[in-house]
Chains A and B, each alone.
Chain A
Amino acid sequence: MASVEKSLLMLRNLPRVALNNIKEFPEVIKERKERHALPRGKDAKFKLGADHKGAAQRMSRPRLGFGKSTPGYLRVPKEYYYSGHHLLRQYLPISLLQIQRLIDLGRLNPNEPIDLTDICNTKLLMFDPNKRHYGFQLTDEGADVFKSKINIEVQWILSELTIAAIERNGGAVTTKYYDIASVHAMSDPRKFFSSGKPIPKNGTPPLNAIEYYTSAANRGYLANPDQIRMERLKLAQKYGYELPDLEKDPLKDMLSKRKDPRQIWHGLEPGWLVNLKDEVILKPADKEWIEYYKS
């Protein structure tokens, strides 16, 4: 007999469930009472754990770090290796296995280019641009089971095994940099369009990232396409697979879709204003605005 069915059958014969005969678990009630109860025992004298008499009970102890000869802010040394830690870019890891699982369950569409917005929309990872999450990085967990042909665009790739795994199946990878304003827009498009701002123009990568995004080995979006072709051949030889010919692929158009360096979304250009309610896009007609957004 199913446990739920059993309990529901019991309900039929028991008195009517009302406000006067329901109770929470005794542990929950006890915990709540203890949380809201007045302090008892040694805490009942409201000394907040301090000793008897003296500066502690009279709340006149010096603040944290003080009380010794040299105050804390002078004693604790500064370590310059962590300078700028509060400004560092973070990339949330997403593995090839997770992407494969999302495609298998229909939450990611392999027939369209996959980018930051698509991965955020699956709500698989808690992506928060306010925590300096600048995008996603692909990890190589699941490289041996990966079997989808996709056009994926991430922000960082550490191991070339991931690139090899995607290209072996006839897919395409690029790494693209988005500045924080663009990332805010891409992580929640509905919220962004409702805010009434025009689509932002993507910024150029900072100095410490230019080398990464201009190298063909990382499939950077600023790299030379000829060099990328060379790198694809190199990887195929290194990992021992035959590089599928993308020219003969029926999905060639989709796989070769790449965004302009200043573009955020496919089909939408920077400077356009989206009206969600009337389902209309407003484009600037003034020369200055067009020039600015196309620069």
Chain B
Amino acid sequence: MASTLPLITSRNLWKLSPLQKPVQSWVETLAQVEDKKVGLVDLHPKIFAVSPRLDILAKNVYWQHQYKKIDYRWVPTRAEMPGRNKKPWQQKGLGKARHGSRLSPQWMHGGVAHGPRGPKSYFFMEGFYQRIAGLTTALTVKFHQNDLHIVDSLDIPTENFQYMEQLINERFWGPSVLFVDDTDMMPFNITAACSKIKGLTLMPTYGLNVYSMLKHNTLVLTTKSLDKLEENLLYYLHHSQFRNSPFIKKVA
């Protein structure tokens, strides 16, 4: 499965402004342990050379954590406590404090006045363009910190996990690596090998998210997933569908 010939050296970058130059990346293979470059490709600057807004990354990570969160805590009020709500002793004459119920909040084992009330969902959707900005920022950050590697395919010669271990150590890829390909069904060898090592994740392109990209030290994209990713992100950066505000001013 080793591809010895040099791969694509040119890629068509869609909607490239002549004022912005593309960034370049090596294309590598997983077919052998040694780090051999197989090609050099252009990457779109609107995705891989974006202003590194770390606060947008933080926003996206917060969103990813919060939108799935449901708080199941529920505590009864004095009305929902089990038992009868009887007046404990007569109002006057005993010298004791006046009380109407043993279940009021000031009593021990009484109901809670302003406690958590039932399943509470923290669901919200971060703005559409904030989420796109999050993805592009994460990709630029990974690229510029030498944590992004582009690979021709995820085919490896054996299913032994030692092969993957050696490969990762040889290339100084971090202990956690995120492999991204365009399919749902990954090749057998890599799934078998990665299942044995903690920290290696296989993911389809549509599963790519800011949290996973930051959690894993290294991001490995196949050329196929790179094409799909660029196509989708550039489409959303250039489509005419969602408009936030109507055109009102006559400016050139």
Binding site for B on A (CB under 8 A): 3-4, 7-8, 11-12, 14, 16-19, 22-25, 28, 46, 97-98, 107, 122-126, 141-142
Q: Are B247 and A19 in contact (CB under 8 A)?
A: no
Query: Which residues of B are found within 8 Å of A125, using beta-carbon distances?
Result: 246-247
Question: What A residues does B84 contact at CB under 8 A?
Answer: none
With A22-B55, A25-B55, A141-B250 already in contact, 16 other A-B pairs whose C-beta atoms are closer than 8 Å:
A3-B51, A7-B51, A8-B52, A11-B52, A11-B141, A12-B146, A16-B145, A17-B54, A17-B141, A22-B61, A23-B58, A24-B59, A46-B114, A97-B250, A123-B241, A123-B243
Q: Provide the bound-state CA to CA distance between A125 and B114, in Å.
A: 47
Instruction: Give bound CA distance, A3 to B144, whole Å.
Output: 15
Q: Which residues on B sit within 8 Å (CB–CB) of A97?
A: 250
B247 near A17: Cβ-Cβ < 8 Å: no
Min CB–CB distance B106 → chain A (angstroms): 15
Write the B117-145 contact mask toward A (1 if CB under 8 angstroms, else 0).
00000000000000000000000110011
Question: Known contacts A8-B144, A23-B58; is A16 also within 8 Å of B217 by CB?
Answer: yes
Within 8 A of A (CB), among B46-94: 49-52, 54-55, 57-59, 61-62
What B residues does A18 contact at CB under 8 A?
A: 214-215
Q: Give, as a whole number of angstroms, the nearest-CB distance from B235 to chain A.
A: 15
Contacts of A122 in B (CB 8 A): 240
- What is the interface size of chain B, counting residues whose CB is below 8 A from a CB of the partner? 28
Known contacts A4-B51, A28-B55, A122-B240: does B214 contact A22 (CB below 8 Å)? yes
User: Could you list some 15 contacts between A and B, CB below 8 A?
Assistant: A3-B51, A8-B144, A11-B145, A12-B144, A12-B146, A22-B57, A23-B54, A24-B55, A24-B59, A97-B250, A98-B247, A123-B240, A123-B241, A124-B247, A125-B247
Q: Kindly list chain A residues whose C-beta atoms are within 8 Å of the C-beta of B241.
A: 123
Interface check B28, CB cutoff 8 A: no
State whether the Cβ of B182 lies closer than 8 Å to any Cβ in chain A: no
CB-nearest residue of chain A relative to B252?
Answer: A101
A7 and B52 form a contact (CB under 8 A): yes
Please name the residue on chain B nearest to A19 by beta carbon: B214
Q: Contact: A126 with B54, CB < 8 Å? A: no
Q: What's the Cα separation between A11 and B240 when bound, in Å?
A: 33
Contact A17-B214, Cβ < 8 Å, known A11-B141, A97-B250: yes
Complex: chain A residue closest to B48, CB-CB: A8
Given A4-B51, A7-B52: A22 touches B58 (CB 8 Å cut-off): yes
For A12, what are the chain B residues with a Cβ–Cβ distance below 8 Å? 144-146
In the complex formed, the residue of A with least CB distance to B60 is: A22
A8:B214 contact, CB within 8 angstroms: no
CB of B193 to closest CB in A, whole Å: 25
Partner of A126, one of B62, B140, B246: B246
Question: Which residues on B sit within 8 Å (CB–CB) of A46?
Answer: 114
Which A residues are CB-close (under 8 A) to B247?
A: 98, 124-125
Q: Does B181 have its Cβ within 8 Å of any Cβ on chain A? A: no
Interface: B211 (CB within 8 A)? yes
Chain A residue numbers with a CB within 8 Å of B152 are none
Q: Which residues of B contact A142 (CB under 8 A)?
A: 250
Per the bound structure, the CA–CA distance linking A15 and B246 in Å amounts to 43
Closest Cβ of chain A to B98, distance in Å, is 18
Whole-angstrom distance between the Cβ of A164 and the nearest chain B Cβ: 20
- Cα–Cα, bound, A46→B115 (Å): 12
Proximity bits, B154-165, A CB within 8 Å = 1, else 0: 000000000000
Across the two chains, which residue of chain B brings its CB closest to A127? B246
With a cutoff of 8 Å between Cβ atoms, the chain B residues found around residue A19 in the complex are: 61, 211, 214-215
The 9 nearest A-B residue pairs measured at CB: A22-B58, A24-B58, A22-B54, A11-B144, A17-B141, A4-B51, A123-B240, A24-B55, A8-B144
A24: chain B residues within 8 A (beta carbon): 55, 58-59, 62
